[in-house]
Amino acid sequence: MTFGTETDEDGAHAQLDRFVGAGGTMVDTADVYSHGVSEQIIGRWFASRPAEVTDPVVLATKGRFAMDDEPNGAGLSARHLTRALDASLGRLGLDSVDLYQVHAFDPLTPLEETLRTLDRFVRAGKIRYYGLSNFTGWQLTKAVWLARAMNVAEPVTLQPQYSLLAREIEWEIVPAVLDAGMGLLPWSPLGGGWLSGKYQRDQRPTGDTRLGDDPNRGMEAYDRRGTERTWNVIDAAQKVAEDRGVSMAEVALAWVTDRPAVTSTILGARTLGQLETNLRAAQLHLTEAERAALDAASDPHITDYPYGELGVDQRARTLPGR
């Protein structure tokens, strides 16, 4: 997502070279990232590198959101997805992608239409697999079982926001992913930079950081995310990092990568130095005690019902006469 806005083409290509050189295999983008420029940068990287470098890469992109002012130019309709995929392939300079993801649920398009369209892409060889992004538990489960009932290709992945600061997907979405046998591809595992240690309590961000440029930026806005729980999580992650002699980013990435169902963690580095730090997380595995400390600090404090103690107790009980 940084390619073409926060990272120029030379920097992006240097990151891709380093990533695959370190054994990385999945590259994830979307049509709306830098309004198509990210796909173009990645496409030129593919075109300029030999096959032995690019062949191991599993390339993923997404479609769903508007790229122009065309009245029907958004959503998960057959019309829009077909045009969006063709446009993505054109920017990438490729005949197919390995994983095509619908970027969010579309309440206005029948899900049957979307699934038939994605199945047609698979049969045509334009995509090898498809996945979902930002779906809730019921939306994911409906898509999986509807695809099975229709005898069409099923989704294989879900890409949600997931980090020590955003754990609510554990209530319904992670169980739904596990039930469906899908893989989880977390985005924003560093909480938009919060879990890298760059922000301080009672000190509004400044300088060359995402929130330094725009403190009100998106989900990670300083006033929205700068809660007492967030600072408690940062303190806990910092303690683990200091005890292990690693960066806080490595701790946060190691935590999310070892969670149930996670098969690949999406990194969003702006610089080669940030990528180098993130890559080191692949060698870090937390102890049970370290995970427990991080889990306690990041507990989203669910209510008693239906996910909390009373709900669990109710589901576990055997009712008389049943």
Tell me the one-letter amino acid at 260.
P
Residue 247: pLDDT over 90: yes
Mean pLDDT of the 43-69 span: 97
Measured CA to CA in angstroms, residue 95 lies from 17, 31, 268 at distances of 22, 16, 26
For residue 301, what pLDDT is reported?
87
In this predicted structure, the answer to whether residue 274 has a pLDDT above a threshold of 90 is yes
DSSP classification of residue 34 = G
pLDDT, residue 122, reads 98
Domains of the chain: 9-193+247-286 (3.20.20.100)
- Please say if the pLDDT value at position 154 is more than 80: yes
Q: Give bridge partners of residue 27 from the DSSP assignment.
A: 59
Q: Strand (E) positions, the chain?
A: 26-28, 58-63, 97-102, 127-133, 157-159, 183-184
pLDDT grade, residue 198 (50/70/90)? confident
State yes or no: pLDDT of 70 exceeds 60.
yes
pLDDT-based confidence at residue 310 (cuts at 50, 70, 90): confident
96 versus 317: the higher-pLDDT residue is: 96
pLDDT of residue 267: 94
| Mean pLDDT of the region 285-305 | 95
Task: Give the pLDDT confidence of 72-119 residue by residue, as tens digits.
Answer: 999 999 999 999 999 999 999 999 999 999 999 999 999 999 999 999
Better-scored residue on pLDDT, 322 or 314 = 314
Lowest mean pLDDT among 80-84, 107-111, 224-228, 256-260: 224-228
pLDDT of residue 211: 53
- Per-residue confidence (pLDDT) for residue 317, from 0 to 100: 78
Residue 39 has pLDDT above 80, yes or no: yes
CA distance 204 to 297: 23
Identify whether the C-beta of residue 230 lies closer than 8 Å to the C-beta of residue 202. Answer: no
Give me the long-range contacts of 177-180 (CB less than 8 A, separation at least 24). 177/140, 177/261, 178/260, 178/261, 179/141, 180/140, 180/141, 180/144, 180/154, 180/155
Q: What percent of the chain has pLDDT over 90?
A: 82
Q: Is residue 58 within 8 Å of residue 26, measured between CB atoms?
A: yes
- Segment 25-41 shows an average pLDDT of 98
What's the rounded mean pLDDT across residues 174-193?
96
Mean per-residue pLDDT for 159-183? 97
Residue 100 appears among annotated catalytic residues? no
The answer to whether residue 222 scores a pLDDT higher than 60 is yes
